[in-house]
């Protein structure tokens, strides 16, 4: 069990969520944390490439995606907060950032392995968001 998941299980507000919701939320947080790291490392790797000018848009999307995922993780980890519909908007914003970042990275993924890793991490977030939203609708 990941530290994120452990923290959700012992959180005093956790009984308000069923096990499937906690699992989906934990998976989403873990995917977002992994995506943050992949995007930060990916942007730094792009800066070391000889064709850095060609990767300018990729770098910007990686930086933006890392920032959005970081903020989303922080907000989604606050189970005791009464955000109302804010978590949905945070998840949608993270999903959009990951979608755009993946779209920027995927075309160059064959040439730059670090871009493939970033695109795959973004895809994992999109999948975890879909699972989280499916659990929320039940």
pLDDT, tens only, 39-88: 999 999 999 999 999 999 999 999 999 999 999 999 988 876 665 556 78
Residues 6+ apart with CB under 8 A from 123: 98, 102
93, 68 contact by CB (below 8 A): yes
Q: Label residue 111 by pLDDT band (50, 70, 90).
A: very high
The architecture of the domain spanning 3-136 is Up-down Bundle (1.20)
Angle at 56 between CA 51 and CA 61, to 5 degrees: 135
Per-residue model confidence (pLDDT) at position 82: 63
Half-sphere exposure of 112 (CA within 13 A, CB side): 25
- Would you kindly state where each structural domain of the chain is located, as residue ranges? 3-136
Average pLDDT score over residue span 17-33: 88
The vertex-75 CA angle with 136 and 7, nearest 5°, equals 80
Per-residue pLDDT, averaged over 115-121, amounts to 98
């Amino acid at each position: 069990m990941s530290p994120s998941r452990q923290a959700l299980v012992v959180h005093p507000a956790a009984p308000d969520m069923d096990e499937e919701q906690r699992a989906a939320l934990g998976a989403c947080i873990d995917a977002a944390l992994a995506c943050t790291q992949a995007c930060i490392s990916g942007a730094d790797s792009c800066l070391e490439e000889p064709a850095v000018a060609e990767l300018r848009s990729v770098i910007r999307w990686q930086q933006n995606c890392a920032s959005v995922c970081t903020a989303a993780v922080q907000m989604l980890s606050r189970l005791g907060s009464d955000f109302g519909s804010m978590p949905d908007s945070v998840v949608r914003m993270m999903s959009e950032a990951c979608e755009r970042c993946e779209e920027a990275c995927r075309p160059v993924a064959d040439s730059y392995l670090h871009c493939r890793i970033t695109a795959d991490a973004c895809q994992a977030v999109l999948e975890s968001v879909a699972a989280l939203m499916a659990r929320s609708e039940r």
